Structure 1
Amino acid sequence: MDEAGPWGTGPFVLKEGVSVLDKRSPTVIMEPNNDYWNPTRIPKVRIKFDNIISKAEAIDEVIKGGKIDIVTELTPAEAMKVSESSKAGVVESRAKTVLVGVFNQNKSGSKWKNKELRQAINHAVDKNLVLQEGHLGYGTIMPAMITGGSFGYNSSLSPYAYEPKKAQAVLKGAGIKDFVIATGAGHKAVADSIAKNLSAVGISAKVDTSGSDGWDIKLVEHFDWSPNHPYGVVHREFFGQDGGFRSMPVNKGFEDIGKKIVNSPDNQESLTRELEAYVHEQAFALFLYAPSKLYAVSNRVNFTPYRTTVLELAETTVR
């Protein structure tokens, strides 16, 4: 929305304002496009975006039934606050997100090249407890990198079971005594919960938010914005040879399945399920959960979120 309206060919037309990273007008107004090609998706509401009000102020407005109807990207703590309102509620989207701990296989002397040790860390962490303590239960435990109901989800897989005694024996036998969890401030509660789990199996775990090197796992949240290509958008980003989050040697087994996916357009889903099974068995990451996306929504509004986390409002109506 880089030019003043009116213009637009989607469900809405831009009526007023501009909104790009380096230039935002105080308000942006969008109106239904009555010439939209799909008449069943012509919006029934006029949308006004407020680019000045702070998030905290916007949440307070929703809670008291004020001028704001929808606030996006709530934290779990903000969602709990909204849930206590009689004039608004929380809409939870089981989005195509993933939160995992990336093992640092590339650091000097890393023991995380050993599959059995990566599996042991997965068995040492109670994912349900981490979800509750880190995200107040707003999320879905995952066996690998794809959420249930999404393209390529492998229903034959189960999350790694919480087996602390088994994990402790393996980790102690390998001489694992210390462990560093790297994270940003947004996932510190998750990291603290993981550290508590690891302490219970005899490992001295430290949470590092400084961005320094030397970590054992780094918490990374990512989302799948593609309709049917999680290999290219998710798996390759974490484990592929050109992946932005990769911290491991190139893995031939992973690359071979990836090539089959790219070269077999008619078998995409079955091959993606095969890749999920391989990633799970190899325990390339500490698999945690898919964080839900949370919205504060006024009781005046019917709002349906999209799993891609893109803010689509064509189906939004005013009661």
Structure 2
Amino acid sequence: MKAVKALLRGILVLALFAPNAGWAKPIAGSHLKVFIPSLPYIYISHSINAALLKPANNKKGWEYDMAVAHRKIDETIYEFDLRQGVKFQDGSPFNADAVLMNMEYFKKAPFLFTKIDTVFDRAEKVDDYTVRFHLTEKYGQFLNDAIWIQFYTQPYLEKYGWNGKPTCPNLAEPGPYGLGPYILKEGYIEGDRQTPKAVLVANPSYWNPEYPKIETVTVYTELDSKVALEMAADKEGQLDIMPIPVSEKDLISNSRYSKLVTAPSTDNIAIHMNLRNGNERLMDQDVRIALNKAIDQRRLLNKYYRGEGQIKPTLAAPLYPGVDKVVKNLKAYSEVQDPKSIRDELKAKLKGLELNVYTQDRFMYIWKGIDRDLRKVGVKLNFNITSSEKDVFSQLLATNARKNTKEWDLLVWGDDDWYYNHPWSAFLVYRTHNYWSTIFPDSKLDSYIEEMFRESVGTPEFDKVAEKIMQHVYNSGYMLFVPTPNKVLAVNKEVTYTPYRMANMPLWEIEVSPSHWSVR
């Protein structure tokens, strides 16, 4: 049976990918320039690296990449058939041995943003192109984790090992270390460190003959938002794609060089309350709930988001599986009671409260609306503004251990859907002993998270625990809840790009026309 399976896989590989001479090549001289101010390391990671699965704009949120099929042997064993004929960017072979080598390094320093660091046991080689992953317990999120278990060359692993961080992985330095459609040529972009610019070049030996379409991609991570807007709207050849403040939709719609592209999303705007070492008044549950009741989400959506988003009761976007059912009954505070009708009551609870806000400049359009609502109930906001997301993360990821160096009470970051159609992208911040949480210890909430880890998204069991998590967080007022944003982008008129609704920019799929500035 194994011989027959191997023969069939071999025939499939030869039929699809043997004619190398017919492989498409990127357009000579083509160059794309993008600005990604939030989670850039996540948005481009799968353009450089590869795992068993990769993000996809479908119901599951993923499709096969370095795997071509998988089976769930039992609750703790997953088996994968590997893609054959694939080589790393340095020419070394990708096979079961490469997977086992990577997993040995992963075991020593796994990423820390889920439970995989404790439930992964070992990887087993079945044959040259079949591997099994053994877990220590039932774990419903394994396939989503597999999207982020990327594979690297031996020289890279010997130099850097695996990630070992609370952030998703990406390369620590440029070089032919991955399996993706692009090679990182210049700069680096990780969760906790990045250069202002990174340059990617097409991988000439990428396994899929259709991709990539563009020869060179420059990724900017730290542009001033106003300068970036001018680069996209008013100047040709400086910026091809960038997310824009919704207040600038008219500017882009009337631009000579850019067009407006919008799409629904599963992204989230996470506004943390510092319940570790922030303003002591935030420890009062009634104060936290009053702050949320004061925010008029409908006015915020209509005026400051320009209608580009959805009202929601907690952090998680309404389009997530499980969350979509909860939001039918659980409503945002301002949808239950008009903030105007209880303004005197809110003022009695909040008057004199002064809060320090740490934010990226790109979120100031939202803060204008929040500040307006909170001023009416006696709350003063003091803003500390940066253009760099890494500055925000340096404070956020240190606060759980009370090692933050800036005094902040409210902190915002773009919690775009990095876990791919799974609400763990949002629920992550509720695990109170994790780096990403700024909530004080809450054993009940942590027990709900542990319960969620065991269930698979899309099942009735998962839906039930999602409801318990959301209701608990809602009743506790643990964060400041605002509408989820749509994708709103400025895209060069000579660029063809369909945005995913999650945190992935499929650079390999993007195309430029013969009239694009780089090839015209």
2:310 to 137, 140, 147: 140
1:281 to 457, 475, 497: 475
Deviations 1:265-314 (A, max 9, x none): 46334422432233223332221022344432122121012233332123
1:197 to 349, 366, 373: 373
Deviations 1:103-156 (A, max 9, x none): 444568845445444333322221133345544544332221221222332332
Q: CA RMSD in A?
A: 3.9
Judge conservation of contact 1:30–1:48 (CA < 8 Å) in 2.
yes
Question: Which 4+ runs in 1 deviate beyond 6 A?
Answer: 22-27, 50-58
2:443 to 249, 252, 266: 252
SS at 1:288's partner residue?
coil
- Is the counterpart of residue 67 in structure 1 residue 261 in structure 2? no
Change (3 A) 1:119 1:305: same
SS at 2:318's partner residue?
coil
Shift of 1:20: 1.6
Change (3 A) 1:182 1:94: farther
Match of 2:380 in 1: 206
1:164 to 325, 339, 343: 339
Deviations 1:221-264 (A, max 9, x none): 42331125533x43242x32224454443223312211211234
Residue pairs, 1:1-319, within 5 angstroms = 2-3=173-174, 9-10=179-180, 12-14=181-183, 17-21=185-189, 28=199, 30-31=201-202, 36-37=207-208, 42-49=211-218, 60=230, 62-63=232-233, 66-68=236-238, 70-76=240-246, 79-105=249-275, 110-132=280-302, 134-153=304-323, 154-156=326-328, 157-160=330-333, 161=335, 162-172=337-347, 174=349, 176-183=350-357, 184=359, 186=361, 187-200=363-376, 203-210=377-384, 213=407, 215=409, 217-227=410-420, 229-231=422-424, 233-237=425-429, 239-244=430-435, 246-265=437-456, 267-319=461-513
Judge conservation of contact 1:192–1:207 (CA < 8 Å) in 2.
no
Amino acid at match of 1:261: M
Gapped runs of 5+ residues in structure 2? Answer: 1-170, 385-404, 514-520
Judge conservation of contact 2:304–2:366 (CA < 8 Å) in 1.
yes
Distance 1:43 1:104 in 2: 43
Judge conservation of contact 1:181–1:218 (CA < 8 Å) in 2.
no
- Computing the radius of gyration from Cα coordinates, the structure with the larger value is 2
Amino acid at match of 2:367: A
Shift of 1:92: 2.8
Change (3 A) 1:234 1:296: same
Amino acid at match of 1:253: K
SS at 1:178's partner residue?
coil
Gapped runs of 5+ residues in structure 1? Answer: none
Number of aligned residues: 308
Q: TM-score, normalised on structure 2?
A: 0.50
Change (3 A) 1:205 1:17: same
SS at 2:201's partner residue?
strand
The structure showing larger relative contact order (alpha-carbon pairs under 8 Å, at least 6 residues apart) is 1
Identity of aligned residues (%): 17
Judge conservation of contact 1:42–1:314 (CA < 8 Å) in 2.
yes
SS at 1:297's partner residue?
strand
Distance 1:60 1:191 in 2: 22
Distance 1:26 1:287 in 2: 32
SS at 2:353's partner residue?
strand
Distance 1:50 1:283 in 2: 37
SS at 2:179's partner residue?
coil
Distance 2:489 2:417 in 1: 19
Shift of 1:214: 7.3
Amino acid at match of 1:158: K
Distance 1:25 1:192 in 2: 27
Judge conservation of contact 2:268–2:484 (CA < 8 Å) in 1.
yes
